[in-house]
Amino acid sequence: MEGFLHQVLAGLATGGIYASLALALVMIYQATHLVNFAQGEMAMFATYIAWSLVNAGMPYWIAFGLTVGISFFIGILIERVVIRPVENAPVLAVVVVFIALLVILNSVTGWIYTYTIKSFPSPFPQEMALGRYMSPHEVGAIGVTLVVLLLLFAFFRFTPLGLALRAAAQNPVSARLVGIRVGWMLALGWGLAAAIGAVAGMMVAPIVYLDPNMMGGILLYAFAAALVGGIDSPMGAVIGGFLVGVLENVLGAFVIGNELKLSVALVLIIGVLLVKPSGLFGRVHVTRV
Amino acid sequence: MALLEARQLYAAYGHTRVLHGVDFAIDKGSITALLGANGAGKTTTLRALCAMVKTQGEVRFEGARIDGRSTEDIARLGVAHVPDGRGTFLHLSTEENLRLGAYTRRDRARVETDLERVYGYFPRLKERRRQQAGTLSGGEQQMLAVSRALMLAPKLMLLDEPSFGLAPLLVRELFGILQAINQREQVSLLLVEQNAAMALDLADHAYLIETGRVVLSGTAEALKRDDSVRKSYLGY
């Protein structure tokens, strides 16, 4: 029983990370109806930036904040420079651009930092009261995830800019007619997604260690999470993230073993697409013909 | 000086040209009607003014060229467009829809009083302020579209078939409110309508469009008396 509880709690910790990344995917999906395959590599690159800053002697939380800020601007830059020119291109062209971005970020990181695995510091103390079931880092990661989610929710729900972002994603034509600069809203969405991804990367790196391929598996789980929750539902992405995290851990520990864990994500992706493509909280799209 | 003036306005969807050199002007404070049959190019004319289609030709607003500027910029100059199909933000609440109308405004206090004034015109919207806008009826969404445009504090409102899909009683009510908006708020209106009789009753000036060209213009009174207009558009 104790082992089971431990696995569930550990699942919640990684689930929070999947939730963040899934949320980043959903944000870009809502605005563009495309899944950004490079989301994981963007997060990985951001984590290397944080590693450089910490290694240069910067206190962790300052490096954390700076990394989130830098990632935000990199996200905006990527949208403006790389995505904007293919705005009206066919879907496949954009997908190819996403994949190119993935490969380029991966290779550039390997080139700058080498492919040697590095350890990444956790900002949380080594000992904590809950230590029997969860490591301090796991508790901290859940806390950070929840804070990020809360901030995002407040931003979208209560600020005029958040409202404008939602409006631009939903109905770009009407948004233009009330004077919203829809192009910039898209860029802002990319910035936010990149910033969220950066947080996810920094939270997962102490667990999986830092290397240019660290996000490959995690992005798959995030896809599964976004699909389980419904690819157009931010709330669904978060719940899906925690769900996938727990499922992956429990199944991995007791049913299929650690080696086959990643297939949980793949089975989930295929299962959801076959059985309930709109996910748990997604909108079912009905079109009159 | 005219508030808005279009000269030799051409517009096309892809390779299909829809407007073939339209000329018209809207006087400050006036109500101008664009009449014409289905497919004549009325909606396209409104879209062309807001840079929502590819255009050629000259459009001046308050004397300055606006052709070639973006839709967002034109809205920011004070041109509010009530689009074909109402343009509701379906998944947002009624009040969020209205606040979006005032997105570009920085005079927060006046936005609040304007919100109340809009609710004064359309009390139904106030009852439904927290409701998801997609669940409003067609008539309510039309009121919402007009209200959202009004929240921009516009100098000019472009209305694309505001009577579309409304019950006759509601049409009368809406036109009454449009008149009030024009007189009280000094907002000039450009009204596209298939309901020519009602539009001519409301308007000061009217243009008749056929296959992408202005074929007739004059005061609303003059157009009402014109034989061809009477036979083709008024039906008596």
- With 80 as the cut, is the pLDDT of residue A33 above it? yes
Contact (Cβ atoms closer than 8 angstroms) between residue B2 and residue B27: yes
CA–CA gap between residue A162 and residue A219 (Å, rounded): 26
With an 8 Å Cβ cutoff, are B152 and A176 in contact? no
Contact (Cβ atoms closer than 8 angstroms) between residue A181 and residue B74: no
Longest dimension (CA), chain B: 51
Q: How confident is the model at residue A286 (pLDDT cuts 50, 70, 90)?
A: low
Q: CB-CB: which of A170, A174, A179 is closest to B104?
A: A179
With an 8 Å Cβ cutoff, are B83 and A180 in contact? no
Mean pLDDT of chain A: 90
Average pLDDT over residues A204-229: 92
Average pLDDT over residues A240-249: 92
Q: How confident is the model at residue A108 (pLDDT cuts 50, 70, 90)?
A: very high
With an 8 Å Cβ cutoff, are B148 and A178 in contact? yes
CA–CA gap between residue A42 and residue B131 (Å, rounded): 38
Q: How confident is the model at residue A131 (pLDDT cuts 50, 70, 90)?
A: low
CA B166 to chain centre: 16
Which letter, b or e, does each residue of A217-236 get, where b requires 16 or more Cβ atoms within 10 Å of its Cβ? ebbbbbbbbbbbbbbbbbeb
CA–CA gap between residue B105 and residue B98 (Å, rounded): 12
Q: Which residues contact A206 (CB under 8 A, 6 or more apart)?
A: A119, A120, A121, A122, A137
pLDDT > 90 fraction of chain B, expressed in percent and rounded: 72
Average pLDDT over residues B37-54: 92
- With 80 as the cut, is the pLDDT of residue B83 above it? yes
pTM value is 0.88
Name the minimum distance, in Å, from the CA of B38 to any CA of chain A.
Answer: 22
Dihedral angle of Cα A184, A186, A192, A194, to the nearest 10 degrees: -110
How far apart are the two ends of chain A, measured CA to CA in Å?
Answer: 54
Q: Count the helix, strand and coil residues of chain A and give each as a percent rounded to the nearest 5.
A: 75, 0, 20
What secondary structure letter does DSSP report for B204? S
A-chain residue closest to B83, CA distance? A174
Name the minimum distance, in Å, from the CA of B68 to any CA of chain A.
Answer: 15
pLDDT in tens, B60-73: 999 999 998 999 99
With an 8 Å Cβ cutoff, are B96 and A173 in contact? no
With an 8 Å Cβ cutoff, are B89 and A170 in contact? yes
Q: Which residues contact A127 (CB under 8 A, 6 or more apart)?
A: A136
Query: A147 vs A129, A154, A253, CA distance in Å?
Result: 21, 11, 29
A-chain residue closest to B151, CA distance? A178
| ipTM of the predicted assembly exceeds 0.90 | yes
Q: Which residues contact A7 (CB under 8 A, 6 or more apart)?
A: A246, A249, A250, A252, A253, A254
CA–CA gap between residue A13 and residue A18 (Å, rounded): 9
pLDDT in tens, A41-84: 999 999 999 999 999 999 999 999 999 999 999 999 999 999 99
Helical residues (DSSP H) of B94-229, grouped into ranges: 94-101, 108-121, 123-127, 138-151, 168-184, 196-202, 220-225, 227-229
pLDDT in tens, B137-192: 888 999 999 999 999 999 999 999 998 888 888 898 999 999 999 999 889 999 99
Residue B175 is predicted with a pLDDT of 93
Q: CB-CB: which of A166, A167, A177 is closest to B81?
A: A177
With an 8 Å Cβ cutoff, are B103 and A180 in contact? yes
Residue B231 is predicted with a pLDDT of 78
Compute the count of residue pairs across chains A and B with CB atoms less than 8 Å apart. 64
- The residue behind tokens 């389980």 is A228
Name the minimum distance, in Å, from the CA of A55 to any CA of chain B.
Answer: 44
Contact (Cβ atoms closer than 8 angstroms) between residue A19 and residue A204: no
Q: Chain B contact for A284, CB < 8 A?
A: no
Phi, psi of A159 (to 5 degrees): -110, 150
B-chain residue closest to A166, CA distance? B92
CA–CA gap between residue A58 and residue A61 (Å, rounded): 8
With an 8 Å Cβ cutoff, are A180 and B89 in contact? no
B-chain residue closest to A173, CA distance? B87
B158 DSSP β-pair partners:
B81, B190
CATH number assigned to the domain covering B4-234: 3.40.50.300
What angle in degrees, to the nearest 10, is found between the helix axes of B168-184 and B138-151? 10
CA–CA gap between residue A71 and residue A49 (Å, rounded): 9
Q: CB-CB: which of B70, B90, B103 is closest to A178?
A: B103
Q: Which residues contact B30 (CB under 8 A, 6 or more apart)?
A: B3, B188, B189, B204, B205
CA–CA gap between residue A80 and residue A71 (Å, rounded): 14
Q: Which residues contact A104 (CB under 8 A, 6 or more apart)?
A: none
- With 60 as the cut, is the pLDDT of residue A129 above it? no
Residue A288 is predicted with a pLDDT of 52
